[in-house]
Structure 1
Amino acid sequence: MNSLDLRREEPERSFLREGFTGQRMSVLPRPRVKLALDSPATANLVVTDCGYFPNARHHGRTRHKGITQTVVLMCVKGSGWVRVDGYAPTEVNAGEAAILPAGIPHAYAASDQDPWTLWWLHVEGPGAAAFLAALNARALPAIRRMADPVRMASLASEVVTWHEKDTTDASLIASSGAAAHLLALLATDQLPGPGVHAAVESIVEHLRNNITARVSVDGLAAMAGLSRSHFAALFKERTGFPVVQFQTQLRMQRARELLDTTNTPIERIAGLVGYDDPFYFARMFKKVHGISPRQYRNHEKG
């Protein structure tokens, strides 16, 4: 039995919930949480609890019934483990975040040998559910490598600072905004993982850098060293779009830039974004934007 298995069988009394030197922590009174969720300005997302635990030796929690909030643990130093009901314990290392969905029993604890330093927050509201959907997690707990842990920690510190200030509407709106920014980055701005995920990430970058190239799913799958079906599924999971639709979005983004910032003829723009037929380009542009390229250029913006 490995160390993770041993720790997950320890009684909850062996864990420290808080009390670490240099810690920061704020817990919003539950009646105030209810008021915030009923307020239009914060109804989508409320940070109910948040904090910073440095060198949190013996830190851990076991929740046998889960809680109503989604828990986000961001490890910036050291390591630990998390476990969701029905799954084996999973290690969490420096530079990784663990997401524990609301309503599911779970447990987590710092490593004995190298205890983690954590930024953490609990979030509630429809925005928390949308964040979980955006993660496209296939397994629980969801573990994500943070592309920029310093930036994530800065946003987490901003959340805690607003909570420490007071519980006015203004402070809760500010903390919700910072938390929403953090969650959005966590869901989208991730380092490519090893193996197939890195291969898919390289294809995404290839498409961004070659928007005029003709593509085929078979050809891109071969570049990634994957079967067509596996590649297509992973690509859509990563971008939210099938390959051709993703490329169309990239082309239309570039077309909008050219229409907004240059006087280049529309027929020429069509070629610059990969369309030999300007009439087909115009049809695709209208399909995406609801208006023609000429109407878009003439439409007052800003």
Structure 2
Amino acid sequence: MAKIRDGFMGERAVVLPIPIIEDFRKTDLGSLLYITDIGFYPKASFHFRKRKKEEASQYILIYVIEGEGWFELENQRQKVSASQVFVLPKEKAHSYGSDLNNPWTIYWCHFDGGKAAFFAEGLQKPLLIPAEKDSRIEYQFKLFEEIFSTLKNGFNKENLEFSITAFFYFLGSLKYLGTFRAGTSVNEEEQQLDMVDNAIHYMRENVRKRITLKQVADYVGFSTSHFSAKFQEKTGYSPLNYHIHLKIQEACHYLDFSDMKINQISMLVGFDDPFYFTRLFGKTMGSSPSDYRKKEKG
């Protein structure tokens, strides 16, 4: 039986496909800032990464929620603990890891772009985010979770642009911590899901099944032609292609956090033919499932 790797129970991660990243980097917004990987590691025992200069191709943000850890940059080691955040610069050799006795729980993100260095400046040393009255720490966590969940819902144009706009705000809340804390809390009234959001919710709930266009259209209460046109207009994808992207994203999760075989993962996300799944995965992610699994993340 396939098992989740020991010490990483509850991990969550989204890795954006290389073709999606390359296209987004060409846009006005993406040229300024873009995310390549993002995730959450709870009590990450034995978490360790070491990269040479040529392997450090993005900035890496780590926000320590609980526990302790360390990072090493330019031959200087820094200890970090709960309520501290730091950013490792790109193109510099580094290493980092979780404390063996008190492993850290972290939010993490790999990012780059024309404004990345601006936000990373000053964060090569741990920044303390003290828990005080009106500290708005929980709001920062919710903001990060919203960025994560938006990308987990797919890589359409609106999701990419919204997540990066929110990421600008998240990074700004760290760079200008005092100003952020002086601001008033944001009204977080829930908004009613529109047709497309409802459809994406249905697709996510059925990501392990094969569904038809009519089933999704019936769920949201519109004709297939009207629904398909509106969905394509908002997301840039046909409904079924969008569902395929969600399936591939689910497959990435199992490749990252389990030792299941590729044919098992293929069946789990609704593809009877593992060869077709492998071709589709490669077309979407820019690498085969086995090569993707070998890539270090976090």
Query: What is the TM-score with the length of structure 2 in the denominator?
Result: 0.53
The aligned counterpart of 2:208 is none
- Residue 7 of structure 2 contacts residue 43 of structure 2 at CA under 8 Å; is this kept in 1? no
The aligned counterpart of 1:64 is 52
Aligned pairs for 1:22-171 within 5 A: 22-65=10-53, 66-84=55-73, 86-133=74-121, 135=122, 141-147=124-130, 148=135, 149-171=137-159
- The superposition leaves residues 108-164 of structure 1 with CA deviations (integer Å, 9 ceiling, x where unpaired) of 10000110000011111012122134x3x6xxx321112543222222111111111
Fraction of identical pairs, as percent:
27
Q: How many Å separate the matches in 1 of 2:157 and 2:125?
A: 31
- Residue 140 of structure 2 contacts residue 170 of structure 2 at CA under 8 Å; is this kept in 1? yes
Q: How many Å separate the matches in 1 of 2:171 and 2:75?
A: 24
Structure 2 gap segments, 5+ residues each: 180-298
How many aligned residue pairs are there? 170
Q: How many Å separate the matches in 2 of 1:185 and 1:18?
A: 34
How far off its partner does 1:28 sit? 0.8
- Residue 82 of structure 1 contacts residue 98 of structure 1 at CA under 8 Å; is this kept in 2? no
How far off its partner does 1:96 sit? 0.1
Q: How many Å separate the matches in 2 of 1:41 and 1:22?
A: 32
Structure 1 gap segments, 5+ residues each: 1-16, 192-302
How far off its partner does 1:169 sit? 1.0
How far off its partner does 1:41 sit? 3.3
Q: How many Å separate the matches in 1 of 2:6 and 2:128?
A: 25
Runs of 4+ in 1 over 6 A off after TM superposition: none
- Residue 63 of structure 2 contacts residue 108 of structure 2 at CA under 8 Å; is this kept in 1? yes
| Structure with greater Cα Rg | 1
The aligned counterpart of 2:161 is 173
> Greater relative contact order: 1 or 2 (C-alpha under 8 angstroms, separation 6 or more)?
2
Q: How many Å separate the matches in 1 of 2:17 and 2:178?
A: 33
The alignment's C-alpha RMSD in Å is: 2.2
Query: What is the TM-score with the length of structure 1 in the denominator?
Result: 0.53
- Residue 78 of structure 1 contacts residue 114 of structure 1 at CA under 8 Å; is this kept in 2? yes
